[in-house]
Amino acid sequence: MGKLVVTLVFLQTMLLAIAPSSPARAQVLINMSRVTCADYLAMNDEQSNVFGAWVGGYFNQKTGYTWIDLVAQQRNVANLRSWCATNRGEFVMTGLARAASTPGFRGDPNRAVVKVEMTEITCREFINYSFDKSEAIGAWMSGYWNAARNREILDLNRYKANAKRVSQYCKAHPKQTLMATIQRVAQ
């Protein structure tokens, strides 16, 4: 499975459903649109980073761009934390949907100090990233592709199976882009 299999333990606090069958066959679905600010603020740093990457990918796809301005992202996280502190019962994605319509949300691609174009990341680069970086990119890609399918539900079983497929394909095709690989092998 390697480091591509992202462990999203933090999402257990946001479970939507667990099938009553045996644990090996339990289906775990998380409705990402139902995560409240209180849930978000209760996450530790690793959990909020992965959650933030997922919703970042989701809103990147919904607003039509594939790059990340890392400075704008840090600013957006700080603004979200501040907003959530006074709106604990609000849903995070509802607040982000409002914010995504503002010009400052995306940042300016011409002024970005650290700009990452997600469509250009190769399998080789992805496999060689640190676990934290590959975990964040994997979560971002999951959010991006779920948004493309109009899904706000994260199916952890499918997510893990896709991570394994992508990892195997990337090892065999290191020059492929990660986006093309996900399009080809993810289900």
For the residues 160-164, what does the mean pLDDT come to? 88
Instruction: Please state the domain count of the chain.
Output: 1
For the residues 49-63, what does the mean pLDDT come to? 88
Residues facing residue 177 across a β-bridge: 122
CB burial of 110-121 (b: ≥16 within 10 Å; e: otherwise) equals eebeebeebeeb
For the cut 70, the answer to whether the pLDDT of residue 20 exceeds it is no
Residue spans of alpha helices (H) in 26-177: 37-42, 45-62, 70-86, 92-100, 103-106, 123-128, 131-148, 156-172
For the residues 98-126, what does the mean pLDDT come to? 78
Range of the domain at 147: 2-185
User: What DSSP state is assigned to residue 102?
Assistant: S
Name the band, by pLDDT with cuts 50, 70 and 90, for residue 103. low
The model carries a pTM of 0.79
Angle at 137 between CA 187 and CA 23, to 5 degrees: 55
Question: Residue with structure tokens 């394909």?
Answer: 169
Name the band, by pLDDT with cuts 50, 70 and 90, for residue 107. low
90 or 104, greater pLDDT: 90
Structural tokens at position 144 = 């991006």
Residue 122 dihedral angles phi and psi, to the nearest 5°: -90, 165
